Amino acid sequence: MEGSNGLLIEQALRFAFKANNNQAEYEALIAGMLLAKEIGARSLLAKSDSLLVTSQVTGEYQAKDLQMATYLGYVQILKDSFVVFELVHIPREQNARADLLAKLASSGEGGR
């Protein structure tokens, strides 16, 4: 998370449950939204390398799977916490920072 003042907060998530890539993307999005809400952000530009998640949140795709629909519903509720919310798709190869955090979380390295 990067604030308008240049402050950068990075966090890697490790799940205590099995999650596919899209579930992990939703979990990361929700964690970021909750953190932004907690620090009082009014505008949020979120980036995801999951085209499915991004397209579901923007309304281009429907969430047909029950688990994805549940995640989408929670994101829709959290969106109301912000005056401005935008989610954009960024291919992973264009986001080296997120790729590094994903590798760190899956390697078992780092704090909890």
For the segment 1-49, what is each residue's pLDDT rounded down to a tens digit? 555 655 555 555 555 556 677 888 898 899 889 988 988 889 988 888 8
Helix (H) or strand (E) holding 44: strand 43-48
Name the residue among 49, 42, 41 with its Cα closest to residue 22: 49
* CA–CA gap between residue 45 and residue 3 (Å, rounded): 10
CATH number of 21-31+41-106: 3.30.420.10
* CA–CA gap between residue 42 and residue 17 (Å, rounded): 31
Positive/negative CA dihedral, 107, 99, 89, 35: positive
Range with top average pLDDT, 27-41, 43-57, 69-83: 69-83
Name the residue among 112, 23, 3 with its Cα closest to residue 66: 23
